[in-house]
Structure 1
Amino acid sequence: MEYRIGKRFSFDAAHHLDGLPAGHKCARVHGHTYTVEVVFAADRLDEPGFVTDFGDLAPFGAYLDEYFDHRDLNDVLDVPPTSELLAAHLAHWIIGNLEPLVQGRLESVRVSESPTSWAEFTPAGRAQ
């Protein structure tokens, strides 16, 4: 048996993508209201019956606010600022900085640039 929880965060940021065909709209600087959804899982629940207390995920929200909100992602990331690579970056941050402090393990990170599209990263060995 496995339990899962998810929490959504959001931030606003700009970016542009290099290496696209001439005239591609994503080559121009533009912005999104990003939604980031994290999923944590556990085989057993901690007291009083949590995978992870949602409040314990606050440091991740603070990280997004400090380093990503109202920023140019091209200046923040060391990789092209695609949703796929942003999801991977955020997953690695959670694994290194937040996961050791909370009950449960990160299953996936999903990043949406719009209400109709998303990219998801699942760390190796954690397939759903």
Structure 2
Amino acid sequence: MIIYKQFTFDAAHYLPNVPDYHKCKKVHGHTYHLTLFFEGGIAPDLGWIIDYSEIKEIVNPILKMVDHQFLNEVEGLENPTCELICLWLWKKLKPLITQLKRIELKETPTSGAIYEE
């Protein structure tokens, strides 16, 4: 069984390694849409894989590290591409939630990154 939980956060950044003429060289922002997927067996006594409230308690402090922040100044995100933000989130969350199997991060409605175990 796979379940998911969605979150959003807003942040600004620029991409330091792109050419000067690239539009992402300038500071800009996104409303990021994060979907976390969890896999496991359904606990017979509770009827779920993991409690959604437990997920929020674990994820929200990590999202506070990036929400309404300038991502280039967040430790480990000096080159904050969507792919590297996705990987950064994975590295923060996976040790805390063993059932986590996949992350999808959208920086626009049509662009994003997926990381899975």
Corresponding residue SS for 2:97: helix
Q: Could you tell me which runs of 5 or more consecutive residues in structure 1 were left unpaired when the two chains were aligned.
A: 124-128
1:41-82 Cα offsets, whole Å, 9 max, x none, are: 01x211321111111111202320x21111000001424101
User: Could you say which residue in structure 2 is the equivalent of 1:53?
Assistant: 51
2:21 alignment partner in structure 1: 23
How many Å separate the matches in 1 of 2:5 and 2:106?
Answer: 13
CA distance in 2, matches of 1:76, 1:22: 22
- Counterparts of residues 1-128 of structure 1 (less than 5 Å): 3-42=1-40, 44-46=41-43, 47-58=45-56, 59-64=58-63, 66-79=64-77, 80-96=79-95, 98-99=96-97, 105-123=99-117
Displacement after TM superposition at 1:5 (Å): 0.5
Q: How many residues align?
A: 114
AA at the equivalent of 1:31? G
- After superposition, the Cα gap between the structure-2 partners of 1:77 and 1:36, relative to the gap in structure 1 and judged at 3 Å, is farther
Q: Distance in 2 between matches of 1:83 and 1:19?
A: 14
Structure 1 residue identity aligned to 2:105? V
Aligned AA for 1:18?
P
For residue 126 of structure 1, what is the aligned residue in structure 2?
none
Are the counterparts in 1 of residues 62 and 92 from structure 2 also a CA contact under 8 Å? no
Counterpart code for 2:93: I
- RMSD (Å), alpha carbons: 1.3
**SS in structure 1 at match of 2:47:** coil
Q: Which runs of 4+ in 1 moved over 3 A?
A: none
2:75 & 2:39 partners in 1: Cα distance?
27
- Secondary structure (helix, strand or coil) at the match of 2:80 reads coil
How far apart, in 2, do the equivalents of 1:26 and 1:61 lie?
27
State the TM-score, normalizing by the size of structure 2: 0.90
